[in-house]
Each structure stands twice: as C-alpha cells, then as structure tokens.
Amino acid sequence: MVDPHVARQAWRRLEPLHGMIYFVPEAAKRYATLGLGNPRHAYFASRAAAFGPASPEVVIATFYNFSPHLVRQALPAAWEVTSPGQLRAARLEAAEAALRRAGIDSHPDLEETLALARRAAEAACERLDGRPLFAAHAALPWPEDPLLELWHAQTLLREYRGDGHIAALVNEGLTGREALILHAATGDLPVVFLKLSRGWTEEEWTEGEDGLRSRGLLGEGLTLSEQGRELRARIESRTDALALPAYAALGEEGCARLAELARGFGRAVVDGGLLKLTM
C-alpha cells in the first residue's frame, strides 16, 4: 500500500513540469503560427487535440469547470484553421523548447525521475475505465527524447488524476461552475484569475455562489463554511484514492523517492520562469 499523501506529493511536486505548457510563450507562438492567436482557443484545442477534432460537448464534459459559451467560441472553429495532429506536434515542440530553456534536459536526476514517473504512468494506462481525457492522451505514442518522455509521463499522471477528480465532483452533485467557486473559496488561486480564465459572467458566478450558500457550503463572502470544508476534504481524499492505482506500482519507497526527486524539477520550472499566471 502507498500512503495517499505521499502519492499526492509526488504528483503535485512534479506537476509544474507539465503545467508550464499552459503559460510559456513557446506554446503561444507555435499555436499562433497555426492560426490560433487567441490564447483561450489555443488552450482548448491543444489540450483536446489528443481526442482528434473534438466537439464542444466533449470538451465541456471533460474539462468540466469552464463556461460552455467559452468552449463553443473556440470549437469547432479551431479545426477549420488547423488539425489536431499539427497541434499535438506544436505542443511537444513547445514543451521541449521551454523545458530546455529552464535546463531540465541537463538535470542530474532526469534518468531516475523518468524511470519512476513512466512506471507510474504505464500502470495508469492499465486502468483506463471512466477516464476519457486520460485515455485520449494514453493512446498517443511515447516520445523518444527522455526530456519529452518525462513531460508526457507527467501529462498522463495529471490527466489520470484530473479525470478521477471530476468523478469525485460529479459524485458529490457539483456542477463544473460550483466546483470552481468552491475552489475559489479556498483562496488557493486569485479569484479574478479563475473568473477570467473560466469565462463565467458575474451574473453566473453570483448565481452559483447563491446556490452553494443555500446548500450551506459557503459562509460570509467567498469563504467555505464548515460543511464546505468537509466537502472539499472529502473530495480531495477521494481524488487521492482514485489516483493510487498509478502510484501503487512504485510501492511506498518508490513513491516517496519520486516525491523527493520531483521537488527539484518543480523548483527548476518555477525558477526558470516557466510558470507565470497571466490575467
């Protein structure tokens, strides 16, 4: 058995290695070259490109907390100017360029970290059930370059956990908008960033807050009530449990080692300026 807390640390500490792809200029430049100069449109199309020419409905379902109106502005229009294959290639090129800029390719622990992360990702690939966005990425070929192998492994682990998280949210009867508002109430990310990036109007946001407050999940202002904190804790605990099939393949010792190694990679990404929120 693997301690879920240790498994979460392994994922969270290595997550910047994948997450930077949504912020670095290397990606934006390549997507713009393909005709997707709007960052929001590029985000939906590039992440959904693993599906092929995905419909707005598929992305609304699998990305979960974005305004459907925002998604429909991007898709299927993106497929009229570029193809999923071109976007997948551009995304890999951008990941490689950005990670090399931060010196990740010469990190002394790259080989060991890759071995552990890939083993966990391949274990996850044995459990596709109910994880559509993960399954789409799992069907993509593994890159041959070790740097991109590691990026792909963490991409798989991110989408594996993400699909499990959505399952936990749905099980608790939360819509994507409600889940986003509860997340905002934790204070983990700036509320203005969550509102702008997810595309909900002020009226929709207020309506969502009122609904959650009527259920006893929000307190004064945008804060969690005791019931809301308990719900969030339950969701995170369930998400951790659903992510365990990947990390259990490493055993307790291997999972702890990955968590230890991942700290240096996450720090290198941040120190390299690859992970910056833009409003």
pLDDT in tens, 91-136: 999 999 999 999 999 999 999 999 999 999 999 999 999 999 999 9
Average pLDDT of the chain, as a whole number: 96
Give the start-to-end residue ranges of the domains of the chain. Answer: 4-271
pLDDT in tens, 245-273: 999 999 999 999 999 999 999 999 999 99
Q: Is the pLDDT reported for residue 221 higher than 90?
A: no
Q: Is the pLDDT reported for residue 185 higher than 60?
A: yes
- How many other CB atoms are found less than 10 A from the CB of residue 57? 12
Calpha distance 129→108 (Å, rounded): 36
Comparing CA positions, the residue from 164, 168, 167, 169 lying closest to residue 180 is 169
